[in-house]
């Protein structure tokens, strides 16, 4: 938020804040009580704003759960933005640089609800290429290196809720809650994520997550055969990835 907010825009800012909260909590949605607590607004104010968003189709209310979700018109605005510069366009130069520096396969993923959606895959010059996920595909956060980096930035209670919603899928991936929380803690301590033979036997990866806006979080990861990404190399590449991404964020902030 601006240090000196434009006068007369308080209602607009409150409404945008509510839209961000809905986006951050899709697809589970939020109850009116949760919206009120998360926004810090009076219940009457929160109810008035969310009711207006529902009337204008920017939010919808599930009649069974009574939770509010992002509405169709809000989604349409998001889709219309694809005609301009996309996240992929913005980050492609960084992805290509990382592919050149590493020689490995580089993935760009974005948080989409409980999943990590692959936006871009770029191969380096190393002859063995990694195809664990393709552009447009998604998988639960925490299984791949990029998704694990995204997940580690979330509160523990949120991570547990995500695991509960998808317990069967996590079990199939040999990732019970205790294992997932251990990986999350390791990621937080190292400052980057790492996986070994989690998705595909013999394939390893490291990932780093960062924010593009208040509700847009992405992660970039390297993928390579495990013999190429041994313990020492994973640390080296994790630190490289973190340094390059942080520098990109710094330069972008300076240019704004």
Say if pTM beats, i.e. exceeds, 0.75: no
User: What pLDDT was estimated at residue 233?
Assistant: 92
User: What pLDDT was estimated at residue 79?
Assistant: 55
Q: Is the pLDDT of residue 155 over 60?
A: yes
User: What pLDDT was estimated at residue 78?
Assistant: 66
CB 208 within 8 A of CB 149: yes
Residue 110 pairs in a beta bridge with 117, 218
| Interval 234-240 mean pLDDT | 95
- What angle in degrees, to the nearest 10, is found between the helix axes of 32-39 and 10-24? 120
| Interval 42-59 mean pLDDT | 92
Q: Is the pLDDT of residue 167 over 50?
A: yes
Phi, psi dihedrals of residue 250, rounded to the nearest 5°: -60, -45
Task: Identify the band that residue 1 occupies on the pLDDT scale cut at 50, 70 and 90.
Answer: very low
DSSP-assigned letter for residue 217? E
User: What pLDDT was estimated at residue 151?
Assistant: 96
Phi, psi dihedrals of residue 242, rounded to the nearest 5°: -65, -45
Q: What is the pLDDT of residues 204-230, one digit of tens each?
A: 999 999 998 777 889 999 998 888 889
Contact residues for 140 (Cβ-Cβ < 8 A; gap 6+): 114, 115, 116, 147, 162, 166, 169, 170, 173
Sign of CA dihedral 234, 235, 240, 246: positive
Q: What percentage of residues in the chain have a pLDDT greater than 70?
A: 93
Phi, psi dihedrals of residue 202, rounded to the nearest 5°: 85, 5
Task: Identify the band that residue 152 occupies on the pLDDT scale cut at 50, 70 and 90.
Answer: very high
| Interval 190-199 mean pLDDT | 91
Domains of the chain: 10-80 (1.10.10.10), 85-255 (3.30.450.40)
Task: Identify the band that residue 57 occupies on the pLDDT scale cut at 50, 70 and 90.
Answer: confident
Q: 134: part of which helix (H) or strand (E)?
A: none
Q: Is the pLDDT of residue 84 over 80?
A: no
Q: What is the pLDDT of residues 106-149, one digit of tens each?
A: 999 998 888 999 999 999 888 777 777 778 888 999 999 999 99
> How many whole angstroms separate alpha carbon 119 and alpha carbon 241?
18
User: What pLDDT was estimated at residue 201?
Assistant: 84
Q: 176: part of which helix (H) or strand (E)?
A: none
| Interval 174-198 mean pLDDT | 95
Task: Identify the band that residue 5 occupies on the pLDDT scale cut at 50, 70 and 90.
Answer: low
Task: Identify the band that residue 42 occupies on the pLDDT scale cut at 50, 70 and 90.
Answer: very high
User: What pLDDT was estimated at residue 86?
Assistant: 78
Which SS3 state, helix, strand or coil, does residue 119 take?
strand
Which SS3 state, helix, strand or coil, does residue 188 take?
helix
């Amino acid at each position: 938020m601006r240090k000196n907010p434009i006068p007369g825009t308080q209602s607009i800012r409150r409404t945008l804040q509510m839209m961000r909260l809905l986006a951050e909590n899709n697809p589970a949605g939020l109850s009116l009580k949760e919206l009120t607590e998360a926004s810090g607004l009076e219940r009457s104010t929160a109810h008035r704003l969310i009711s207006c968003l529902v009337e204008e189709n920017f939010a919808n209310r599930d009649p069974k759960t009574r939770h509010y979700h992002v509405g169709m018109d809000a989604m349409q605005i998001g889709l219309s933005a694809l005609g301009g510069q996309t996240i992929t366009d913005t980050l492609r130069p960084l992805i290509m640089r990382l592919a050149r520096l590493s020689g490995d396969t580089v993935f760009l993923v974005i948080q989409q609800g409980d999943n990590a959606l692959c936006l871009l895959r770029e191969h380096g010059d190393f002859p063995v290429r990694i195809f664990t996920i393709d552009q447009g595909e998604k998988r639960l956060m925490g299984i791949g290196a990029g998704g694990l980096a995204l997940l580690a930035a979330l509160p523990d209670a949120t991570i547990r809720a995500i695991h509960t919603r998808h317990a069967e899928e996590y079990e199939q991936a040999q990732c019970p809650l205790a294992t997932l929380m251990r990986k999350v803690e390791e990621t937080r301590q190292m400052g980057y994520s790492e996986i070994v033979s989690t998705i595909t036997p013999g394939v390893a990866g490291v990932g780093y997550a960062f924010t593009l806006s208040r509700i847009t979080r992405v992660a970039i990861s390297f993928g390579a055969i495990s013999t190429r990404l041994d313990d020492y190399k994973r640390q080296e590449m994790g630190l490289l990835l973190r340094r390059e991404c942080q520098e990109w964020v710094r330069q972008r902030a300076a240019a704004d």
